[in-house]
Amino acid sequence: MAEAARKTLTAANTFKNIIAELKKVDKNFTPQCAQYKYLMEQMRADQVTTRRYSKAENESESVAKLYLSYIQGTRRLNELQERYKGGEKTVEESARLVGLKLPERKY
Amino acid sequence: MTSKLGLFTRRFVSNQAASASALTKPKKFYKEVSVINETDEKTGNQIHKVLLDHRVLKTQGGQVLKLDSYPLALAIAEEWSSQDEFLQLGQMRLTGLAFTAQDNPLEQTADTISQKILDYVDGDTVLFFNPESSKLHRYQSEKWAPLIQNLNSDIGTQIRYSENILDCDVASNNDKDKIDRWIRQHNFPALVGLQYATESVKSFIIAYNALRHHIDPETAIDAATLEQRTQAETWGNVEWAHGLEREELMTRLSAACLFVYFNSNNFTSKTI
């Protein structure tokens, strides 16, 4: 029983993390949207099956983990790419590097 | 403004002739994403479509995208909904897999796909242990041996690892037949996902373990990048290469496993 209770905690945690992640990347993610309702349904269904069918419990939590790692991975990938993307300095910035200033443009 | 969604290139060319290139990303041209459910006339099953504003999402081949699984449709809708100002089509992996499964641009069949997946077994990453470095060898015994064991106990194969990279004998023909039979249990979209998973981690055994819920995605990626991580322990980690590779692999494998799962299971719920 205690084992089942512990498993419920981690599954609920995963669902909470999924909701937090979706809120971060999707501005339209609200408690009214279909995805939120589906996640809530899954969370409730999971709590029921956890107590009775331990084999099914692993599956539902595992799928939640897969989805969480998918969306987390996508967000982190974007962040890494933003951080390490290259790019040339503009002429003004390169001049500033060596302490020079561009002449003023009169047009 | 034409509103046919499958034809991004045509949109590009007509609106931004000066800058149409592979480098410009398409802009987010919709505000809301939703899922609609319909009953297919021929089979009587529920099929789901994704709507971007009021336009239905079409595959790259121009067909309307039809999905059997409601959670999959929700997840794909979520991919489109989480896009910023510029769409990153390469990152929408579930959409990509769904498009590939429906269009089948490379004209694959169950035969060709299962053959491609089986080809990975002979050279599977986790079947070749390296005896040169004792630390790596120890990690391999700890992390990889259980994965091989899971596969063997599940479907009755007798695959073993080898310490010689030229060994061609790690899986007998009998073993390959059993694996082939397991692969062919899946329907065509699930096969597409299975192939994608295998190719992303370069190992059938790791993909199998992840799909059968024996290990979670983190563990799977750890197993796939074992050698890199062991080296990184000694020589240090480079975030813009290793970190990037890890997140790439993570998204690919998770998306593939989700795609296989949603295409292989029917969800029924009864309210009493």
The model's pLDDT over B246-271, given as tens digits with 9 standing for 90+, comes to 999 999 999 999 999 999 986 655 55
Q: Quote the pLDDT of residue B39.
A: 86
Does residue A103 lie in a domain region? Answer: no
pLDDT for B67 equals 93
Q: How many domains does chain B contain in total?
A: 2
- Is residue B176 assigned to a domain? yes
| Structural domain that includes position A75 | 23-83
Of A43-57, B45-59, B67-81, the range with the lowest mean pLDDT is A43-57
Looking at this predicted complex, what is its ipTM?
A: 0.85
> Looking at the domain assignment, is residue B157 inside a domain?
yes
| Residues of chain B neighbouring A22 (CB-CB closer than 8 A) | 78, 82
Instruction: Tell me if residue B225 falls in helix, strand or coil.
Output: coil
| Pairs across A and B, CB distance < 8 A | 83
B16 in helix, strand or coil?
A: coil
Q: Does residue B20 fall inside a structural domain?
A: no
Q: What integer pLDDT is reported at residue B11 of this predicted model?
A: 41
Range of the domain at B43: 33-91
Say which CATH number the domain at B135 has.
1.10.3580.10
The answer on B135 and B78 residing in a single domain is no
User: Average pLDDT of chain B?
Assistant: 87
DSSP A105: P
Q: Are residues B140 and B182 in the same domain?
A: yes
Best residue in A66, A72, A78 to probe B by mutation, most B CBs within 10 Å? A66
In this predicted structure, the answer to whether residue B221 has a pLDDT above a threshold of 70 is yes
In-domain check, residue B105: no
**pLDDT by residue (tens digit) across B67-100?**
999 999 999 999 999 998 889 888 999 999 999 9
Q: Is residue B99 part of a domain?
A: no
Which amino acid appears at position B1 of this protein?
M
Mark whether B121 and B255 lie in a shared domain.
yes
Q: What is the pLDDT of residues A56-107, one digit of tens each?
A: 557 888 999 999 999 999 999 999 988 888 888 888 888 999 999 888 888 7
Share of chain B above pLDDT 90, in %: 61
Residue B126 included in any domain:
yes
Q: Is the model's pLDDT at B204 over the cut of 70? A: yes
Q: Name the more confident of B46 and B254.
A: B254
Chain A residues whose C-beta sits inside 8 Å of any chain B C-beta = 22, 25-26, 28-29, 34-35, 38, 45, 58-59, 62-63, 65-67, 69-74, 76-78, 80-81, 83-84
pLDDT at B147: 94
Inside any domain, residue A95: no
Looking from the CA of B174 toward its CB, the CA atoms found within 13 Å total 6
B139 in a domain, yes or no? yes
* B49 and B140 assigned to the same domain: no
Shared domain for B131 and B74, answered yes or no, is no
pTM, two decimals, is: 0.85
What mean pLDDT is predicted for residues B164-172?
82
Of B180, B183, B158, B154, nearest in space to B169 by CA: B158
Say if B96 falls within a structural domain.
Answer: no
Mutate to test the interface with B, among A10, A49, A67, A68 (most CBs of B within 10 A): A67
Please indicate, yes or no, whether residues B123 and B151 belong to a single structural domain of this protein. Answer: yes
Core vs surface per residue B158-185: b (16+ CB within 10 A) or e: ebebeeeeeeeebbeeebeebbeebbee
| Count: domains in chain A | 1
Contact between residue A37 and residue A87 where contact means Cβ atoms under 8 Å apart: no
The answer on pLDDT for B9 being more than 50 is: no
